[in-house]
Amino acid sequence: MFDIILKRKEGTNVLKGIKLRLYPNRTQQNQLEQMFGNDRFVWNQMLAMMNERYQNNKALPFLGKFKLNYLLKPLKKEYPFLKNSDSSSLQVVNEFLTQSWKNFFQDKSGQIGKPRFHSRKYLKKSYTGKSIIKTAGKRYLKIPKLGYVKTSKTGVLQNTKVKRYTVVLEPTGKYYLSLQAEIPEPEKYSLTDKQVGIDVGVADFAILSNGLKYPSFDNSYFEKKAKVWQRKYARRRHLAKLLVLQDRNKKVLCPRSLESFTNWQKAQKSKAKCQAKAANQRR
């Protein structure tokens, strides 16, 4: 659990980023999987419509996020499973899509292309909402559509107003909740008129003039393990692809898919865990 101050607002409040670990149960995990898919589905549906509109007549006026939000109601009637998502998260999808199109139209260098379709094979899944999140005890939060979800300590949310939240499923299989919260401006520390010298070196990371030493950082163990699992992952996935192609060429009645081979998926998760441990130590 860590937090970063993002930016200062006018007045006595500041915006602060807070990241908490989530521990959803099996039912909530299935709900989250559908909510991730719903955001991806709305993005692809809206993008397909805007692409067709742009190809038919490039002189047509640009559709903003408010006009796209009007299309959510008929889309929910046609696809009732979209009602299982937080309605504000689907509006945020339209907001992100609108911003992507604006970046495309405003870019004169030609380096920014048109928005792309989202794939379900993307490892890091997430959705963002603007609804109210309530604390329910020291270890529980009430999240829209999910109910009460176990989390890390919620003491950091005291005297805060959540403006936006994001639920993320990392490639390691862990769930996190990132919050953009508004908090009172912290008190400024008074100067002590004391000085300290810092010597940054190779043998030691830093040596202070008051005698404190900070040893150099070494995470070679997890980096080596990550490289080993990277090779295993690449080899296993390559073999799985060959078997899938073999079934297609032989025209098997029930051909195997790439997702049916769990060996390379296990290696992928082990590789992600080692990379995350090295990144956390470095951070």
Contact 115, 86 (CB under 8 A): no
The mean pLDDT value for 236-250 works out to: 90
14: helix, coil or strand?
Answer: strand
User: Which has the closest alpha carbon to 166: 126, 106, 195, 111?
Assistant: 126
The mean pLDDT value for 96-118 works out to: 84
Q: Could you tell me the pTM of the whole model? A: 0.79
Burial of 186 (0-12, 13-18, 19+ CB in 10 A): exposed
At 67 the pLDDT is: 87
Q: How far apart are the first and last CA of the chain?
A: 12
pLDDT in tens, 211-240: 898 887 777 888 899 999 999 999 999 999
Beta bridge partners of residue 165, listed in sequence order:
129, 179
pLDDT in tens, 2-46: 444 445 544 577 888 889 999 999 999 999 999 999 999 999 999
Place of tokens 């408010």: 66
Which helix H or strand E contains 21, and what residues bound it? strand 13-23
How far apart, in whole angstroms, are the C-alpha atoms of residue 151 and residue 182?
20
Instruction: Please give the sequence-ordered ranges of beta strands (E in DSSP) within 119-235, or none if there are none.
Output: 125-129, 134-135, 140-143, 147-151, 161-169, 175-184, 198-200, 204-208, 213-215
Q: pLDDT band for position 1 (50/70/90)?
A: very low
At 79 the pLDDT is: 92
Q: Where are the domains of the chain?
A: 1-187, 220-282
At 252 the pLDDT is: 77
Name the range with the highest mean pLDDT among 77-91, 210-224, 242-256: 77-91
How far apart, in whole angstroms, are the C-alpha atoms of residue 22 and residue 170?
11
User: Which has the closest alpha carbon to 139: 153, 119, 120?
Assistant: 153
At 31 the pLDDT is: 93
At 5 the pLDDT is: 46
Average pLDDT, the chain: 86
pLDDT in tens, 258-274: 888 889 889 999 999 99
At 9 the pLDDT is: 46
Residues for the chain: how many in total?
283
Contact 5, 16 (CB under 8 A): yes
> Of residues 182 and 5, which shows the higher confidence score?
182
At 2 the pLDDT is: 46
Q: What does the angle CA 122 – CA 128 – CA 134 come to, to the nearest 5 degrees?
A: 135
Beta bridge partners of residue 150, listed in sequence order:
23, 140
Q: pLDDT band for position 189 (50/70/90)?
A: confident
| CA-based torsion, 18, 23, 26, 27: positive or negative | negative
Q: What is the share, in percent, of the chain residues with pLDDT greater than 90?
A: 39
How far apart, in whole angstroms, are the C-alpha atoms of residue 123 and residue 40?
13
Q: Who's near 277: CB < 8 A, 6+ residues apart?
A: 219, 222
Contact 253, 198 (CB under 8 A): no
